[in-house]
Amino acid sequence: MFWYTFAGIAVALFAMMLLGALLAVQIPTFSDNSGGSLAMLFGSFSPILYVLIVYALLCINVFNFYGAFMAVVTTIQLNRPGFAGGHLV
């Protein structure tokens, strides 16, 4: 099971690195504004791509906030007096 997960992650990672390298070589100003440069490649559909980029950034930030929230809640809960093994004593 590990190798299937590893292979999927490795293929996706390689694809994203290859895409980034190709875009950086083809568009000289890509590193200045990667989102805008990528959106401009789609011509008249660039406003749609801008909306998708903003949506993706919002989703990633929500996931980051959720992870931080769960880490803080877990830390506080585990340090409560009388807490042992998943229930209050």
| pLDDT at site 50 | 93
Beta bridge partners of 83: 88
Separation between Cα atoms, residue 89 and residue 85, nearest integer Å: 9
Whether residue 19 contacts residue 27, with contact meaning beta carbons closer than 8 Å, is answered with no
Helices (H), the chain: 2-26, 34-40, 46-78
Residue 30 — pLDDT band, cuts 50, 70, 90?
confident
In this structure, of 5-14, 48-57, 59-68, 74-83, the range with the lowest mean pLDDT score is 74-83
Give this prediction's pTM: 0.62
Could you tell me which residues come within 8 angstroms of residue 48 by beta carbon, excluding any fewer than 6 positions away? 42
Separation between Cα atoms, residue 40 and residue 53, nearest integer Å: 12
